Structure 1
Amino acid sequence: MLSIHAHPQRRSVLLLALAMGLAHRGPPAFAQAATTAPGPAPADLRGRTLDGQAFDLARLRGKVVMVLFWSTDCAVCRDKMPELRANVKGWQGRPFELVSVSTDAARAAIETHQRLVQLTVPASQRFTTLWAGEPGLQHSFGPPGQLPALFLLDKDGRVVESHHGRVPAQAWDRVADLL
């Protein structure tokens, strides 16, 4: 059993351990918990945006980032766009970015969509878009699988959560937690 009457420095370590739920197993468990393995490598996404600008996901470190793989012929994806745009506007001024990667077979499909966006969506609700078929596009997310495929990255660029298919509302709660 741990004693809170220990030396003052040890007492603060023990109280911290108790608060973290680590001390009930005694010092060996606390010692194990203090050593952590390195986390996963930061995600990678590099290429050109639809408007021809160089893009490197690494430049967004320090921000919470959502990377969305989608297609203009995916009804669920199109249905999700108003919610995504509203959240982009809502998180404006905060360290948050949404980056989309179109998986359309033909670049013309996403270009047509982007022209409509430019005409109908306020600038405050637009986000960076890349096309998966762009020569030189590289990413570490693997095949997106079921669309939409959403990957949430922490401020260190590491994937902390992913969703395939309908994106749950809780994903936005997670963004708030990471900010």
Structure 2
Amino acid sequence: MDRRKWLQMALAGGLASLNTSLFAQDEKNIPKFTLQGVDANGKKLELSDFMGKTVLVSFFTAGCNVCTRDLKLMREFYVSNSKRKFVLLAVNIDQNKADFDEYNQLIAQVIPQEQRFPMVWRNAPSHKDNFGTIVHQPTHFVINPKNEFIFKREGSFEPEDWDNLWSSLG
């Protein structure tokens, strides 16, 4: 074996073991997610209120067509699975509260009460969470009943995401 191939193999092996140890370390140090806010009806809400349930946290804006489509599908999943210890929590990231309020008024007019899920405005002064910067609309996080991260999807939910969400319900 020539020296160049040997160096490539040694480097690849070293990086593989480094990545494995970093991944294991990261898994142990993943923080539990937190969220504190006030829902669209003025009720205080915390992510810890849903401990023991699989939670789909969806960050969206009122004017996003992809968000609207995803939330429609998620609403259907929510209605079908709310008795299976599943919660859908929508977090609006509009800059203007009027956009959030207008969206909620529309929801109140067209969506039956039993199909509504908790919704908060992220830019409210009392809102706090540790989900980080949201770059893509929508962005979804799935958290298991122990408040452990399962997966994140930036953009529209993919078919395998629905399968993974379904599997997480146990």
- TM interval, shorter chain, is 0.7 to 0.9
**What is the letter of the counterpart of residue 129 of structure 1?**
M
What 5-or-longer segments of structure 2 have no aligned partner? 1-24
How many angstroms apart in 2 are the aligned matches of 1:65 and 1:149?
A: 14
Q: Is the Cα contact below 8 Å between 1:45 and 1:138 reproduced in 2?
A: yes
**Structure 1 match to 2:127:** 137
Which structure: greater helix fraction? 2
2:118 maps to 1:128 = yes
Question: What is the aligned length?
Answer: 145
With the length of structure 1 as denominator, give the TM-score of the two structures: 0.76
With the length of structure 2 as denominator, give the TM-score of the two structures: 0.80
**Structure 1 match to 2:162:** 172
2:71 maps to 1:81 = yes
1:110: Cα distance to partner? 1.3
Instruction: Give secondary structure in 1 for the equivalent of 2:141.
Output: strand
How many angstroms apart in 1 are the aligned matches of 2:121 and 2:74?
A: 18
Q: Is the Cα contact below 8 Å between 1:77 and 1:148 reproduced in 2?
A: yes
> Deviation per CA, 1:18-48, whole angstroms, max 9, x where unpaired?
xxxxxxxxxxxxxxxxxx9736221111111
Over the residues paired in the alignment, what is the CA RMSD in angstroms? 1.7
Give the fraction of aligned pairs with identical amino acids, expressed as a percent. Answer: 24
Runs of 4+ in 1 over 6 A off after TM superposition: none
**Structure 1 match to 2:42:** 52
2:61 maps to 1:96 = no
